[in-house]
Amino acid sequence: MKKLSDPVNTLKGVGIKTQSALAKLGIDDINDLLTYFPFRYSDFHVKNLNNIIDGEKVTLRGKISGIPIVNYFGRRRSTLRFKLLVNKNNVVVTFFNQPWLKKQLIPGNEILVYGRFNTNRLSLSGIKILSHQVSNQMAAIYPSNKNIRSNTIKKLVQEAYQEYHQLIFDYVPEWLIKKYRLEHEEEVIHDMHFPDNQKEALLARRTAKFNEFFLYQMKLQLMKIDHQTHNGIRIKYNRSKINDFIKQLPFKLTNAQKKVVQEIDLDLTRPVQMDRLLQGDVGSGKTIVAAIAMYATIMSGYQVALMVPTEILAEQHANNLANLFKNLPIRIGLLTGSTKTTARNELLPRLANGNIDLIIGTHALIQDPVKYHRLGLAVIDEQHRFGVNQRKALRKKGHNPNVLAMTATPIPRTLAITSYGDMDVSIINEMPRGRKPVLTSWIRSKQFKDALPIILKQLKKGEQIYVVTPLVEASEAIDMRNAENIYQQFKSYFGSQFKVGLLHGRMKDEEKNQIMNDFKQRKIQILVSTTVIEVGVDVSNATMMIIYNADHFGLAQLHQLRGRVGRGSAQSYCLLIADPKNKLGEKRMQVMVDTNNGFIVSQKDLELRGPGDLMGHEQSGLPEFKVGDPVSDVVILNVAQQEAIGIIKQPDWQTQPVNSNLKLKINQDSTHDILD
Ligand code: ADP
Ligand code: MG
């Protein structure tokens, strides 16, 4: 029997290659595919009769070739029938219960009709008549990557819709659909992928946003109840040891760091579960704060897990923490997707029986075989890169462990609360002493030669340089080629005196780690890289960041990248190379030149982005949402939250028939059943 959870390879033409390409986009099953929405539409076209699959919903263009006839059945039911001449074929079109359409149907006129086509009978069950101005169907354009084209995705979505649309069900309760004039799920899915016009696409998107936020809020509120009904772990530790640890650090904590350490300390020592979001601009020193919480937790006999979004970052944290804790009896393990089987087989039992105190890794940490002995603290770095399910999965690895989630994305407090539920928020709003703001300048690519002496000057001082190469959304293969070209260029400029390294996403992880380590140990002076170094990387001797095609990046992303430098006391520089084609693009570059403050950057980013920008959420730093942008759609978000809270407040909501589909959907979306 067909299920929406069928893997994508049940579709025709999906082999291993396509399947893994889809997996990279987060598409594993039919449901993922159907909710993988286009980011824009273009190119109108009408279907040719020969290309229509039986039962497909299509738009036909044709001439009305006979007089339309209305037949009534009782008072309310009727059929309106007429012949449409499409490429010399007469198609019989029937509209049910819409007799008023007859007025629009003048024999001899050419019209566009949208409906479900029957290939055997050459008939169309009409859904609507389209006006000529809107022309016909729009073609959806999907976010794609190197391995798969938008058009392939489109074909697969069409096939999936064809095969599975009967299984699409409404999980938002009917009364909510009515209350907010939402669309039914099948219509949403249909119109998001195959809209007839912009308006239809926008209406569908409105509902899709609501649905997404609503489902998210349901899960969030359930998680909140889950915390409240359980007691947390009370950590008992020796405060003077913590103070000794802080004293021996090579720097003094900033006041903001001290304040956050106190907030965390209070949470840990109370018998409630800590659930804290730590926000601090790039380079503000969040890691050390987390390390203090880790030490306290481990000292009282519990384990700590640190989950990060990339292997490079996991590796880096493992090195830094090992160094930070080198005089303490803390046993550290590293677990990522590329951890070798033998190492893994050795590590997992030690983790399970408590012989590892601190495990650092990517989402490998939440996979099934990974068992913990006494998980007391889960730290999630760059938390905006993880979804609610992943956060929950990590939590579930222990019995109500404390949670510390960290992010550099400056989210207004109210928004943080709506999008992260009841998390407490701590803010580090101060940079370590002695930091000089990064000086940013913007040049056009033809001016690049002028920058060479400045680059040389930095290198001669013994400082290091990152070069980030263009982001070409079309394909990672092109990204890699660009990176290689630029790498060759830098080698030709500086290769005789300095070592240039290359890092890109297609390299093996071992290779990446080797390059990163060489850079850290100053064996490499210039690191040419794709955006794999975007988050978290910390090499304080690197003082210059050069970003090619800077206008292709989101401002938040540029800010993250820029945050890789300015981590020591030396003056750092960021050089943006960009040839924006319009005023808006120029303004965006100017924002980066004018301010170093992540909060202002993100605010300006929002102001400059138009309300119709569908790509918005990708750049807001909250990619957890596929269609909704928690910033610009905050009104929808609030409404969805209120309704979710309202439902969950009813003690018997889970047994009410109106909520049965909702319950089903929540369970389907999670790796483990959340609800009984
Ligand atoms: P982020 O908040 O972006 O994760 P990190 O925790 O990586 O920042 O810290 C950035 C750099 O600043 C690190 O090299 C760290 O050792 C250093 N650092 C952290 N706190 C201080 C401080 N109070 N004084 C000086 N340097 C600090
Ligand atoms: Mg960090």
Render pLDDT for 295-350 as a digit per residue (tens, 0 to 9).
999 999 999 999 998 887 898 899 899 999 999 999 999 999 888 899 999 999 99
Average pLDDT over residues 650-674: 82
pLDDT digits (tens, 9 = 90+) for 476-503: 677 777 889 999 999 999 999 999 999 9
| Ligand 2 center to 407 CA (angstroms) | 8
Average pLDDT over residues 367-379: 94
The CA distance from 186 to 166, in Å, is 8
Select from 669, 658, 668, 648 the least CA-distant residue to 177: 658
pLDDT > 70? residue 127: yes
Among 284, 430, 533, 596, which residue has the most ligand 1 atoms within 8 Å of its CB, making it the best to mutate? Answer: 284
Q: Which residues contact 498 (CB under 8 A, 6 or more apart)?
A: 459, 525, 526
Pocket of ligand 1 contains residue 407 by CB under 6 Å: no
Pocket of ligand 1 contains residue 253 by CB under 6 Å: yes
Pocket of ligand 1 contains residue 195 by CB under 6 Å: no
Pocket of ligand 1 contains residue 255 by CB under 6 Å: no
Pocket of ligand 1 contains residue 280 by CB under 6 Å: yes
pLDDT > 70? residue 618: no
**Predicted confidence band at 84 (pLDDT cuts at 50, 70, 90)?**
very high
Q: Is 450 exposed, middle or buried (0-12, 13-18, 19+ CB in 10 A)?
A: exposed
Q: Is 100 exposed, middle or buried (0-12, 13-18, 19+ CB in 10 A)?
A: exposed
| Residue 138 identity | M
Which range is least confidently modeled, 188-202, 226-240, 504-518, 597-611?
597-611
Q: Which atom of ligand 1 is nearest to the CA of 287?
A: 6
Select from 4, 44, 58 the least CA-distant residue to 169: 4
Torsion of CA 448, 454, 459, 464, to 10 degrees: -70
**Predicted confidence band at 591 (pLDDT cuts at 50, 70, 90)?**
very high
Pocket of ligand 1 contains residue 540 by CB under 6 Å: yes
Is the Cβ–Cβ distance between 498 and 519 less than 8 Å?
Answer: no
For the chain, the distance separating the N- and C-terminal CA atoms, rounded to the nearest angstrom, is 24
| Ligand 1 center to 567 CA (angstroms) | 7
Burial annotation 551-590 (CB, 10 A radius, 16+ → b, else e): bbbbbbbbbbbbbbbbbbebebbbbbbbebeeeebeebbe
For the chain, give the number of residues: 676
What tokens does 37 get? 């929405």
Among 288, 312, 316, 317, which residue has the most ligand 1 atoms within 8 Å of its CB, making it the best to mutate? Answer: 288
Pocket of ligand 1 contains residue 665 by CB under 6 Å: no
Pairing type for strands 275-280 and 123-130 reads: unpaired
DSSP 115-126: EEEETTTTEEEE
Return the DSSP state at 234: P
Among 567, 569, 572, 596, which residue has the most ligand 1 atoms within 8 Å of its CB, making it the best to mutate? Answer: 567
In three-state secondary structure terms, 542 is strand
Pocket of ligand 1 contains residue 383 by CB under 6 Å: no
Residue nearest to atom 20 of ligand 1 (CA): 285
Pocket of ligand 1 contains residue 186 by CB under 6 Å: no
Q: Which residues contact 329 (CB under 8 A, 6 or more apart)?
A: none
Among 249, 252, 279, 287, which residue has the most ligand 1 atoms within 8 Å of its CB, making it the best to mutate? Answer: 287
Average pLDDT over residues 412-417: 57
What tokens does 587 get? 């303004």
Return the DSSP state at 469: P
Mean pLDDT of the chain: 86
Residue nearest to atom 5 of ligand 1 (CA): 285
Pocket of ligand 1 contains residue 279 by CB under 6 Å: no
pLDDT > 70? residue 362: yes
| Residue 199 identity | K
pLDDT confidence of residue 68: 94
Pocket of ligand 1 contains residue 564 by CB under 6 Å: no
pLDDT confidence of residue 619: 38
Kindly tell me the sign of the dihedral angle through the C-alpha atoms of 214, 215, 221, 224. negative
Q: Is 672 exposed, middle or buried (0-12, 13-18, 19+ CB in 10 A)?
A: exposed
Tracing tokens 């340089």 back to the chain, one arrives at 465
What tokens does 224 get? 């909140």
The model's pTM is 0.65
Q: Which residues contact 132 (CB under 8 A, 6 or more apart)?
A: 110, 111, 112
Q: Is 277 exposed, middle or buried (0-12, 13-18, 19+ CB in 10 A)?
A: buried
Average pLDDT over residues 400-422: 73
Which range is least confidently modeled, 31-35, 37-41, 159-163, 282-286?
37-41
Average pLDDT over residues 640-655: 92
Which range is least confidently modeled, 58-62, 135-139, 429-433, 468-472?
135-139
Distant-in-sequence contacts of 669-672, Cβ < 8 A, 24+ apart: 669/215, 669/219, 669/389, 670/219, 670/389, 670/392, 671/389, 671/393, 672/396
pLDDT > 80? residue 632: no
Q: Which atom of ligand 1 is nearest to the CA of 381?
A: 4
| Ligand 2 center to 2 CA (angstroms) | 44
Is the Cβ–Cβ distance between 264 and 377 less than 8 Å?
Answer: no
| Ligand 1 center to 538 CA (angstroms) | 9
Q: Which residues contact 358 (CB under 8 A, 6 or more apart)?
A: 294, 298, 303, 304, 305, 306, 321, 325, 330, 331, 332, 333
pLDDT digits (tens, 9 = 90+) for 191-225: 999 988 778 999 999 999 999 999 988 988 887 77
In three-state secondary structure terms, 184 is coil
Give alpha helix (H) positions in 99-197: 150-164, 174-179, 185-193
Smallest-distance ligand from the CA of 288? 1
Q: Which atom of ligand 1 is nearest to the CA of 320?
A: 16
pLDDT confidence of residue 671: 53
Residue nearest to atom 12 of ligand 1 (CA): 285
Tracing tokens 């959806």 back to the chain, one arrives at 140
Q: Which of 20-24, 120-124, 459-463 has the highest mean pLDDT?
A: 459-463
Domains and CATH numbers, the chain: 45-130 (2.40.50.140), 239-428 (3.40.50.300), 439-595 (3.40.50.300)
Pocket of ligand 1 contains residue 56 by CB under 6 Å: no
Pocket of ligand 1 contains residue 254 by CB under 6 Å: yes
Return the DSSP state at 353: T
Q: Which atom of ligand 1 is nearest to the CA of 254?
A: 23
Q: Which atom of ligand 1 is nearest to the CA of 286?
A: 2
**Predicted confidence band at 294 (pLDDT cuts at 50, 70, 90)?**
very high
Smallest-distance ligand from the CA of 253? 1
